[in-house]
Chain A
Amino acid sequence: MNIVVFLKMVPDVVEELEISSDEKSLDTEWLRMIISEPCEHALEQAILMKEAYGGRVTAIALESPEIDDVLYTALAKGADRAIKLPGDWSGISSPLEAQIYSTLVSEGIVGITDETLILTGSQAIDDLTGELGAYLAGMLDLPYIGVVTGVTVDTTSKQATVFKEFSGGLKGEFGVPLPAVLGIQAAEKPPRYVPVAKIRAMMKSIQYETRQVSPPAVSARFTAKKMFKREVTGRAEMLKGSPEEISNRIADILADRGLL
């Protein structure tokens, strides 16, 4: 099997997010980037499938602060190949990102065969222009399903059985022929832990590849007028006092609403 995983970095919301002075983007002073959680699951799913079916896993990402750690971690988890695309890609939209990735295919750096599965995170928290996976599928003219939580492959018939999550725990089972693009919501197992020592050892032994790509032509799709922080409405009345006082107050509130 040939599994290609595209890893997206998103702003780390653990840090406080500030708007830059141009009011159109995030202030980068304290900004940290972290791998988009569904992409981490996509990588885990890829490794699980390599363990089940054999083959190779290639992890690809655009350059970003802290991307090196991500790529070495991918290699330490079991990816065979990691490719970094250098450049300043901050704020890039999903369709443009997909365009870059599809040039990797057209230039033969990433090969697509009837044993190829392309995985990426189903959705990222900065997907203002939509899901990367769907754009990629559209550009490569491959079938696409998002919100995937399970994949099995019949390597003889080159058919994948894909499980998609709806809501309320309901799922759907789909049959998808390879090659295909899947947006992974959750891997079949939680992403594995790789000890720091192993990642550091990776850094000394393997190198990831770098491939220069030319930035795609920017087409102004929509005008972002202004970016701003959500005001904390602060409408909550905070109850204070001793536990007894607070409990009585809550009981009062419930009684008032006819809930008791």
Chain B
Amino acid sequence: MDPVEITFLGLPGPLLLWIVSLAALGVFTRRSFRLVNLLRRARGEDRFDRIARRLQLFVTDVLGQRRLFDEPIGIAHFLFFWGFVFYAGTFLWSLVRGLIPTLPIPYPDEIGFVSLFLEIFGILVLIGIAAAVIRRVFFPPAHLERTLDAYVILSLISILMVSFLLGKGFGIAAAETVGEEPSPVGNLLASVIGGNPAFSSSSKGLVSLMWWIHMVTVLGFMAYLPYSKHLHLLASPFNVFFGNLRPAGDLGAAGSGEAVVAGASRWDEFTWRQLLNGFSCAECGRCDRACPAVNSGYPLSPKMIVHNVKVHLLEAGLAAEPAVSSEGNGGRSLIGEMISENELWSCTTCLSCMERCPVRNEHIPLIVQMRRYLVSRGAMDGLLQDTLSHLTRYGNSFGKSERMRARWTEGLDFKIKDTRREPVEFLWFVGDYASYNPGLQEITRITARIFDRAGLDFGIAYDGERNSGNDVRRIGEEGLFDMLREKNLGTLGKAGYRSIVTTDPHTYNALRNEYSLNMDSGGGNAGNKNGGPSVLHCTQLFDRLIADGKLSFRKELGYTVTYHDPCYLGRYNGVYEEPRRVLRALGLLLVEMPRHHARSYCCGAGGGRIWMEDQPGIEERPSENRVREAASTCGVNILVASCPKDISMFRDAVKTTGLEDKIEVKDLAELVWEALDEPRKEG
């Protein structure tokens, strides 16, 4: 029997189906077009390169659902996804057949193995739904929001599965072919139904009913989809396909020029890819769970940032005609009413959100784009303003003279080469904090002594070095970043060197990803000839020196330590193993903290936060949370870091948490030196 062949309200089934289908399709298409048009009116961004790589991402992240497996419920989502794909496929098949009943093709569930697959998936999905509902109702994780939308989708999926399975059961019962086809559920249901006279007589009608419920539900869902958060079903595959292929540490990817420098305070000042984030977001909250700001009680929530940009886009973009201004439109202002300035300034740019996001949303570029707007209006706290003025005038965030940059060398008993005067093999770009912060200068000197001991041919640029600008760019002061980069490139251009080594991961990130050094930078930079990186972090250099036998240790340090992966070294640039090899070479016993490698927890200094006034009422700062984690890691009494800001933040945190007796904070260089030399006899 053909389920589409019914008569309802005097109309034949196929006609009804055409009407409903066209109506649903119409609603869906109109809305989708409107949304796509909004994207077209936003700023441009080139995400159309390297198609092969993009396809590869699509396969692993969309088809493979790769990033979802970090949480157990991800398995359920994998099932939902593939179940949905399969059911969508068979739905289309059914729809075509239903619209054109004269087509000489069977319905999908009339084909044995297709039907079997549908049944198996149906059961698995229902189990998944059951798990999701039980979790949602009885064991909700703290972060879970029990929204109407969520229940709607769970119900819809259930209806689809149940209507199919019941339809199968009724079908077998009506045809009285129990046991003849490979349909375990269908057969089971049919035998139950068959034994019940009330059902068995109306089986045929019920088959049809189930089919129509199924089709109408899908059509209804299709019409509803672009109005709900389930738009992510459509948008996220594109989001992934058009994901960022450039290094995460390169914020210049979205282009430059006045438009970008001025930032965004309105939807059409973002790029289409930035706006696509909102449509792709399924509000799973992984970003929030990973975010140190959320964890510490700052007003920021990465999820809400993405959400609010979307809501603003819909409010302002779909309102009346092309929005001229966001004020007086009846629409709320994005920055100010929907997103507060405090939220925007709370971000440390640690990348945890983007590293977790299953649909590859890009929260940080959104935040930085809005920060650029705030900077263009001078809307920032006094301390940050002063710091930016210092950076502009003196090239460092401390407000000290440029000529003081190399004063830290005065404690050394040898002279470091001046790259302004002679060529070197390694140009050591020291960085602000390592140069100017009195508490950190000894570590810098130790690093110099290690290089010297290893017979390294190295030099520094002395007063020619400026802050690399990494955090300046993340604050949104693009013009100042340009200026600092220009000055540094000038200094580098005139120097002769093979490689650059730096002690600060922030510097490392900027030089590696935002300075275009591997391209034409002039001045004898032959770093890439051997294929090796021309920018190194000092931990990579230590690793190399150890491997080459240039550093041999007098003794093994028997401490039990844990290692903190700095955000800009690990998560951003993938340098995880070299520091660990060094630690092992020193004879240290390394125990990982629960959050290690890509899950390392930010110390809270990044994104310019170390230059901002602290917000009152924060219960526990990210750095305090992290040192507690280190102190409670079994057997560990040293927390090792390899970033000056980390050292500074963690040392403070150890004091404010009163953990001085439990844990000590050391730089990797200090441990290397200890193993090379006699323990320092401090007065």
Contacts and interface: CB of A to CB of B under 8 A. Distances in A.
Given A190-B382, A192-B378, A197 B403 contact: no
A15 interface: yes
A192 B382 CA distance: 9
A24 interface: no
Interface residues on A, range: 10 to 19
Given A14-B394, A190-B382, A196 B482 contact: yes
Given A14-B399, A15-B403, A197 B385 contact: no
B376 interface: yes
A17 B479 CA distance: 31
Contacts of A196: 392, 477, 479-480, 482-483
A132 B304 CA distance: 54
A199 B388 CA distance: 14
A246 interface: no
Contact of A198 (B376, B382, B403): B376
Given A192-B378, A193-B388, A200-B479, A16 B261 contact: no
Q: Is the interface of A mostly helix, strand, loop or mixed?
A: loop
A34 B394 CA distance: 11
B378 A194 contact: yes
Interface in A13-28: 14-16
A193 B388 CA distance: 9
B401 interface: yes
Contacts of B261: 195, 197
B375 interface: yes
Given A193-B388, A198-B376, A14 B477 contact: no
Given A14-B394, A14-B399, A193 B378 contact: yes
B98 to A, nearest CB: 60
A193 B478 CA distance: 14
B156 interface: no
B662 interface: no
Interface string B265-283: 0000000000000000000
Interface string A155-187: 000000000000000000000000000000000
B99 to A, nearest CB: 58
A197 B394 contact: no
B401 A14 contact: yes
A30 B392 contact: no
A15 B402 CA distance: 9
B40 interface: no
Contact of B479 (A15, A16, A34, A197): A197
Contacts of B477: 195-196
A198 B483 CA distance: 12
Contacts of A197: 258, 261, 376, 478-480, 482
B401 A15 contact: yes
A193 B401 contact: no
The binding surface of chain B is classed by DSSP as helix
B380 interface: yes
B400 interface: yes
Contact of B385 (A14, A30, A193): A193
B375 A195 contact: yes
Contacts of B382: 190
Nearest to B477: A195
A193 B479 contact: no
A193 B479 CA distance: 13
Contacts of B392: 196
A29 B387 CA distance: 26
B479 to A, nearest CB: 3
B403 A195 contact: no
Contacts of A240: 683
Contacts of B403: 15-16, 30
B318 to A, nearest CB: 32
A195 B480 contact: yes
Contact of B400 (A14, A190, A200): A14
Interface in B362-382: 375-376, 378, 380, 382
Nearest to B380: A193
Nearest to A192: B378
A195 B400 contact: no
A15 B258 CA distance: 34
A15 B399 CA distance: 10
B397 to A, nearest CB: 13
A172 to B, nearest CB: 27
A30 B402 CA distance: 11
Interface string B388-418: 1100111000011101000000000000000
B353 to A, nearest CB: 26
A111 B403 CA distance: 44
Interface string A237-260: 000100000000000000000000
B394 to A, nearest CB: 7
Contacts of B380: 193
Contacts of A190: 382, 385
B70 to A, nearest CB: 39
Nearest to A34: B393
Interface in A193-221: 193-201
- Between B378, B388, B394, B683, the greatest number of chain A beta carbons within 10 A of the residue's beta carbon is seen for B378
A122 B376 CA distance: 29
13 contacts: A14-B394, A14-B401, A30-B403, A190-B382, A190-B385, A192-B378, A193-B385, A196-B477, A197-B478, A197-B479, A197-B480, A199-B479, A240-B683
Given A193-B378, A193-B380, A196-B392, 15 more contacts: A14-B399, A15-B401, A190-B385, A192-B378, A193-B375, A193-B388, A195-B261, A195-B378, A196-B477, A196-B479, A197-B258, A197-B261, A197-B479, A197-B480, A197-B482
Closest CB pairs A-B (n = 4): A197-B479, A196-B479, A193-B378, A196-B480
